Structure 1
Amino acid sequence: MTLSINQLHQNAIKALNQGDIQQAHQYLVSIVQTEPQHADAYFLLAMINVQVGQVKKAIALIEKALEFDNNTEYLAQLAKCYALDGQLEQAKATATQVNLAAVNSALTADTLGVAMSHIGLHEQAMSFYKKALEITQTNPQFYYNYGVCAKFLGDFAQAEQAFEKAIQINPTHHQAHFALSDLIKATNDSNHLERLNSVFSNISHPDAQLHIGHALAKEYQDLKQYDQAFEALNMGKKAKLKQARFDNDASTKLFAHIKTLSEEHKQISQIGHNSNEPIFVLGMPRSGTTLVERILSSHSDVMSAGELQDFGICTKRLAQTKTPHVLDNTTLDAAYQLDFGQLGQAYLDATRVVTGNSAHFIDKLPFNFFYVDLIRKALPNAKIVCLLRNPLDTCIGNYRQLFTINNPYYRYSLSLMDTAKFYARFYHLMQHWQALHGSHFKLLQYESLVNNPEHHIRDLLNFCDLPWQSQCIDFHLNTTPVSTASKVQVREPLNSKSIGRWRNFESHLEEVINYLTSQDIPISE
């Protein structure tokens, strides 16, 4: 018996809801073969492609769906996909063409909020998150997304309420549990340890265990129970580490190849784009990059564009390599054959949706440290500031940090020793960049900045060709949104509380100390 289009459509939706992507795909392909203008079939095919990581294909399918039905839900998902793909201009144009008053679906409103959050439009995103919660109060993820946005905007009380509401609806909502622990300082009289331990015993997914393990570690650390904190981290990371081990051999080869290419192409005389707008603040995560971003963006001539992926994405796009990763040896080889002026222009064009017409903007993606030589070639007048922090504080800080789940860049942080090995490669590459690029590449020691802030802030502004402004010292009064792990910390005046925190975990660091010492990396007291 031949199924009707309507039956195929309903069967596809049912299969999707049951997680049977392959069966859903078969139904949807049958629909579009029979009825080539069936908008929802193209849209649902796009949603399948999002699930399997084929974002570009998903974009093409949603655009096809919109040819036949100008559906608000389609527009919302298209904006989100554009944002995920780094097409910020298209994401903004798509999201902002939707009239909030016309949105009558909670999922559509939430999706638009997510899209706007991805491109840094947090205030606009908040309106859509609120609309989602006006329509329905039973979805924990909507409360979680609202809470994250409130946290970015510094409204910590609203964030706390939203996370608690998500947990009330779904007691094992691991993201909300972690976000709440990360937001609030635990005390002996007020903590979530009993609840978190109970949740951990009732979950099995590696991602959920990772979140709850980090939440437990954060609260144990607040209570100065450092051995318990370290054990919670090990416990929480254990299943994820088995699932996704960091490839140290591939990482070693990548770092070595970057050094080799920069040496081979030292004499390139081709001139890149002459813009002096970008200020790149980079370094290992948890090394003080957000602090420097806040200091510089307190200056009237500087705005923060956040952690932009654009330089790597533009390099990959122009290199036209078919490899699956944005950053790999094949792409780097091709990158050195590019027109560097074109690369610089492509980067500036890609960032314009966020940066507007500001005199200077900060790109604070930590892992831009891989691209320093290419940045210098494509944007020779850009400023590059690299943070260095005590290696033990950096390593334990990365191990303690819950980074973006399933992002291969951060996979080293699932193992303390993998983190130490990654830090060693980073450290030696930064020494190489300083030797190669001299005064065009500024290494800034986090501890020195904290201990003598005015001197180093004056020096930092001078390096960036910015006149002195006293508000740069009062960066904690800066009210612009913060979307990194330091979102609470950087709203406090400059202090040395985080210096030497590694000593709280010293009994667990013997192997790390021995390794770093063997790599000729100074471990300051």
Structure 2
Amino acid sequence: MKKLIFIIYLMSNMIFSQTNFEKAEKLFSQQKYALAKPIFESILIENPNHQKTLEYLGDIEGDSKSWDKAMVYYDKLRKLNPSNANYYYKYGGCLGMKAKESNKFKALGMIGDVKASFEKAIQLNPNHIEARWALIELYLQLPGIIGGSERKAQKYAAELLKISPVDGHLAKGHISEYFDRYQEAENNYKKAIASGGSKNTYLKLANLYKNKLNQPQKAKEVMDSFFQKG
């Protein structure tokens, strides 16, 4: 009899937790993070290793730029599931943002871990697009004296070109634009439009015309062609 009561109690707790999780997940999908957060935290008290709850809480803290708190969740996820590429990617992203907001001396000590996290994500998932974008941005933003390198950024852009042509052309365009090679950037953004045709590809070319080449009419024509297409 006692065993039966315990089983019923356990099942009722599981149903309650599942209902709470679904409620919190719905709030999260609606971007009502302040309401979702305490529900997720209560679930974590009952099940400290619930990976999806940990990830949601990490995402919420990341959205509010609480990098240290977010990293605690992602670090735990890396240890619970060391084969999940996204956990390393998200951990590296938070660490990178923390480094960006830190003084140069402190940031210098973080760069190696940031790179290692993104590289681990790629090792676990050879088709990981976001980790390559993150490494491209990292190598562009870093001064050459501490590891910045266009050559390395181009290496990951070339890898993206094989995995996702539209991302590859966008990445090459972004690198060219970063170094003020606007003709190259224009050509690559046009290739991205031909490869994908998403709104983002048109926006990249339009912004180049408007903000870098001072050609607002061309920018308007690019966006008009996108809306006419749809």
Residue of structure 2 aligned with 1:194, choices 146, 149, 155: 155
User: How does 1:109-258 map onto structure 2 within 5 Å?
Assistant: 109-154=54-99, 157=111, 158-185=113-140, 187-188=149-150, 190-203=151-164, 209-210=166-167, 212-241=168-197, 244=198
In structure 2, give the amino acid aligned to 1:229: A
Whole-angstrom CA distance in 2 between matches of 1:111 and 1:202 = 28
* Greater RCO (Cα-Cα under 8 Å, separation 6 or more): 1
The aligned residue for residue 82 of structure 1 is 27
- Secondary structure in 1 aligned to 2:17? coil
In structure 2, give the amino acid aligned to 1:183: L
Whole-angstrom CA distance in 1 between matches of 2:94 and 2:57 = 13
| Structure 1 residues 111 and 510: CA distance shift in structure 2, 3 A | closer
In structure 2, give the amino acid aligned to 1:124: K
Whole-angstrom CA distance in 2 between matches of 1:75 and 1:115 = 17
Whole-angstrom CA distance in 2 between matches of 1:510 and 1:69 = 56
- Secondary structure in 2 aligned to 1:161? helix
In our comparison, the structure showing a higher alpha carbon Rg is 1
Residue of structure 2 aligned with 1:512, choices 218, 221, 226: 218
The aligned residue for residue 92 of structure 1 is 37
In structure 2, give the amino acid aligned to 1:163: F
Whole-angstrom CA distance in 2 between matches of 1:194 and 1:187 = 10
CA contact (8 A) 2:137 2:153 kept: no
Whole-angstrom CA distance in 1 between matches of 2:45 and 2:193 = 41
Relative to the length of structure 1, the TM-score reads 0.31
* Deviation (angstroms), 1:514: 9.2
* Deviation (angstroms), 1:90: 1.3
Unaligned regions of 5+ residues in structure 1, if any?
1-64, 246-401, 403-410, 421-500, 516-525
| Structure 1 residues 220 and 78: CA distance shift in structure 2, 3 A | farther
* Deviation (angstroms), 1:177: 0.9
Whole-angstrom CA distance in 2 between matches of 1:149 and 1:104 = 20
Whole-angstrom CA distance in 2 between matches of 1:187 and 1:181 = 9
Identity percentage of aligned residues: 18
CA contact (8 A) 1:144 1:162 kept: yes
CA contact (8 A) 1:110 1:128 kept: yes
Whole-angstrom CA distance in 2 between matches of 1:110 and 1:173 = 18
Whole-angstrom CA distance in 2 between matches of 1:78 and 1:144 = 27
Whole-angstrom CA distance in 1 between matches of 2:91 and 2:41 = 19
In structure 2, give the amino acid aligned to 1:413: L
Q: Does 1:413 align with 2:119?
A: no
Whole-angstrom CA distance in 1 between matches of 2:45 and 2:136 = 32
In structure 2, give the amino acid aligned to 1:144: Y
- Secondary structure in 2 aligned to 1:214? helix
In structure 1, give the amino acid aligned to 2:119: E
Q: Deviations over 1:165-220 (max 9, x none)?
A: 111222221111112212222535x423134224313436xxxx23x333323333
- Secondary structure in 1 aligned to 2:89? helix
In structure 2, give the amino acid aligned to 1:94: I
The two structures, once aligned, show a CA RMSD in angstroms of: 3.8
Residue of structure 2 aligned with 1:68, choices 8, 15, 18: 15
